[in-house]
Amino acid sequence: MKGDRKKAPTQFKKGCTAWNKGVSLSSAEPADDPGSPEPSRTVRMNKDEYYLVTQTSRDGTSRAMPDCEGKSGSVRLLRPTMPATSDLKKEQIARDTEGMRLVDNTKMVEAWNTAYELHRRDAPQCELPRMELANEKKWGVCWKVTLKCVNCCFQTPEFKLYKEVSTRNPGPNPGAPNIGLGIGLQDTPLGNKGARLLMATMDVPPPARSSMQRTSKKVAKQVKDLNEKDMAEKVELLKEINTKRGNDPSEINIAMDGRYNSVTIASRKKPGQNASQAVGVACETMTDKKFVIQACFKNKLCWTGAWLKGKGIDVQCPGGHTECTANMSPFAPFSEYDMGHEIGSELSLQGILVKYATTDGDSRSAQGLDNAMKILHPMWSVQRLADTTHLGQSQFRKCYQANFSDGMFPGRTREQKKEAQKVLSQDVKARCSLILKELMKDHAGNMAAFKRILPKVLESTLSCYDGDCSKCANNSVVCHGGVTNNWWSRSMFLSSNRIHNLYMNENDKVLLLEILKMKLSVASVEQMKLYTDTQKCEAVNRALSVSLPKNVNFSATMEGRGSSAIHRVNNDPGTSTIKKCEYSGIELSSRTKRALTAADRDADYHRNYSKRSEVVKHKLFVHSNKIQAHS
């Protein structure tokens, strides 16, 4: 019952005398009890009044009245504002402040100058200031410090020794070096773990992995958006080039290829494919730059989903939880058809029509591209072209694996005959590529004349390998049939290995003819009529191997790292870095920009150096010497 409840006890008990009974807190009021002591004359001060009329001692432990300095009446503080630091604490602070720091020079000079100005204003009694670090706080790779004077109790406010990136998000602004570190790591095989080890070897206290991971995710999204805008600008540039050439601005020819994060597509340990990530790229073939104009990222990995499943929570990726990084099921197979279809859909939305698509041996990507284009343009058709380089590799493999007769090649042992067959395979590949290159140069794209002369070239080439050079002077492009200017003495592979003739029977001639037809037939030339290849796509794949190495899985930042590599290929390394930093709000110094500009000059020099005729000739000469030394 309510009436039966006991009252809560209080601190005051019945029968006790109150502490303030007979005591007056005001000097004007007398005491209630006539027998009480003389009324108190003390007036209680508030906190602000107390700090105005007192002075702090040298050691910061007490406060005294100005007229009671050094007397026994000094006021001791219960909670000093700056307690005396013990020797053990000083040693701990000294140990924590050891090592290297990444600080901004301008911010550091500004902090010291401000500290001395504040010291002169707030502690005029200290004539000889001596500043040292009172405290420092790590902010990623950046630092915040507080300075103090050893000779007095002066202490500065906290200084930021780094530049900030202004954002509209709540909370403190991120440090520019933290964002820059995330941008730089995307262009290297290093992850956050490797970066921490690298900084530790430099005696720089590394930041926390959690903060680095959060920064990496934010930077990855920014770089992805920047790369998409950059590729859209490249598309508009190609439209302007087509308009200046008098062509349809919407028609662009491309080359496509895919890359997987696994050396082998099949796995012996797990069902399905061995790869968990794939990247498809489309490079234009209209200019010498061969810009990447579209990319497709496929990702099966999601760290958060795997962690939740390990905790017993039933989630499904993709899309089964917040912040899911996977965009396809872990059990779905990768398909170049799907990547080609996605690339075609994005290009169609930008008003692009692809007429010719160059691919390697797999034509499924071109079929997916064609079906995507027909969604908006039902009467449009994409024609697939063969890659000349990959076709040459296929020609080499067919010749090396062909079942020629035992007496065709010189040599006593089986190993010597197999080595001679390998040399012939290399020679056939090089000779067919040289023939096509010379015919393209002579006929300047006139495919009718090209096809008309091609059967005679094929016949004379087969007769030349059989030892009959009578037709080479009129029909062969690379052999003149003389004593010193024939192909046998001109070939780097045959002459270096001392192969001067082949002993072919009728079956060997038929096999060699079919191998030559892989590049010297009318049907194959029709598939290579633009003489385009996917070498630029292979170059992009090598750049992707730097940002996305196959032995490391980047689940959350996969698209950002891939976009960073594509942006670097399209804009050169120095220019790409400057654009990424500016897009993220980082202001680089002039000295840093000069170094990045020098990196662009070096990249351009090496790119042009490898194309010089004397350099190509020297490389062939060195390769020939290696073959002779090996034989």
pLDDT digits (tens, 9 = 90+) for 204-243: 999 999 999 999 999 999 999 999 999 999 999 999 999 9
Taking CA 74 as the corner, what is the angle to CA 72 and CA 78, rounded to the nearest 5 degrees? Answer: 125
| Rounded-to-integer distance, Cα 137 and Cα 93, Å | 12
Residue 283 burial (CB count, 10 A) = 27
Q: Tell me the residue length of the chain.
A: 631
- pLDDT of 271 reads 78
User: Can you tell me the distance from the alpha carbon of 290 to that of 544, in angstroms, rounded to the nearest whole number?
Assistant: 16
Q: Could you count the other beta carbons within 10 Å of the beta carbon of residue 381?
A: 9
For the segment 241-260, what is each residue's pLDDT rounded down to a tens digit? 999 999 999 999 999 999 99
Q: Which residues, in sequence order, are bridge partners of residue 135?
A: 146
Selected residue with higher pLDDT from 38 and 300: 300
- Report how far residue 358's alpha carbon sits from residue 403's, in angstroms, rounded to the nearest whole number: 31
Reported as a single tens digit per residue, the pLDDT across 91-142 is 666 667 788 899 999 999 999 999 999 999 988 888 888 998 888 999 999 9
Q: Contact at 8 Å (CB) between 38 and 24?
A: no
Instruction: Give percent of the chain above pLDDT 90.
Output: 50
pLDDT tens digits for range 4-56 = 555 555 565 666 666 566 555 444 444 444 454 454 455 556 555 555 556 55
| C-alpha neighbours within 13 Å on the C-beta side of residue 153 | 15
pLDDT number for residue 91: 63
The confidence score (pLDDT) of residue 26 equals 44
Q: What is the pLDDT of residue 406?
A: 86
Buried b (16+ CB within 10 A) or exposed e, 563-583: bbbbbbbbbbbbbbbbbbbeb
**pLDDT (mean) for 368-389:** 92
Handedness of CA 117, 123, 127, 132 (dihedral sign): negative
In angstroms, the Cα distances linking 219 to 117, 191, 510, 565, 583 are 38, 13, 59, 14, 10
* Residues 339 and 368: beta-carbon distance below 8 Å: yes
Q: What's the pLDDT at 326?
A: 93
Retrieve residue 70's tokens.
């050094």
According to DSSP, the residues that pair with 137 across neighbouring strands are: 144
**560-598: pLDDT as tens digits:** 999 999 999 999 999 999 999 999 999 999 999 999 999
Greater confidence, 84 or 396?
A: 396
Percent of the chain with pLDDT over 70: 84
Q: What is the mean pLDDT of residues 505-510?
A: 91
Q: Which is higher by pLDDT, 95 or 618?
A: 618
Confidence of residue 60 (pLDDT cuts 50, 70, 90): very low
**178, 257, 550: which is closest to 561 by C-alpha?**
550
With 0-12 / 13-18 / 19 or more C-beta atoms within 10 angstroms meaning exposed / middle / buried, residue 370 is buried
DSSP calls for 317-379: TTTSSTT----S-TTSPP-HHHHHHHHHHHHHHTT-B-SEEEESS--HHHHHHHHHHHHH-TT
User: Given a cut of 80, is residue 384 above it in pLDDT?
Assistant: yes
State the Cα–Cα distance between residues 384 and 364, nearest whole angstrom: 10
Does position 89 have pLDDT exceeding 70, yes or no? no
Average pLDDT over every residue of 394-420: 89
Which helix H or strand E contains 63, and what residues bound it?
strand 62-64
List residues bridging with 164 in a β-sheet. Answer: 175
Which amino acid belongs to residue 598? A
356-370 average pLDDT score: 88
Cβ 154 vs Cβ 122: under 8 Å? yes
- DSSP bridge pairs for 278: 260, 298
For 323-332, 435-444, 502-511, which range has the lowest pLDDT when averaged over its residues?
435-444
| Lookup result for tokens 């099949």 | 266
Instruction: Output the pLDDT for position 484.
Output: 76
Mean pLDDT of 292-316: 92
Torsion of CA 213, 216, 221, 224, to 10 degrees: -140
- CB neighbours of 571 closer than 8 A, spacing ≥ 6? 230, 579
DSSP 101-119: ----HHHHHHHHHHHHHHH
Q: Provide the residue type at 156 as one letter.
A: T
- Side-chain half-sphere exposure of 498, counting CA atoms within 13 A: 8
Mean pLDDT of the 160-178 span:
91
Please give the pLDDT value at position 491.
83
pLDDT over threshold 80, residue 628: no
Q: Which residue has the higher pLDDT, 72 or 428?
A: 428
For residues 317-322, average pLDDT: 88
Q: Return d(Cα 182, Cα 195) in angstroms, integer.
A: 10
Q: Are the CB atoms for 137 and 158 separated by under 8 Å?
A: yes
Query: Burial level of 534, CB count in 10 A (0-12/13-18/19+)?
Result: buried
pLDDT of residue 6: 53
Query: In the prediction, which pLDDT does 94 show?
Result: 62
CA–CA distance, 267 with 334 (Å, rounded to integer): 14
Phi, psi of 508 (to 5 degrees): -65, -35
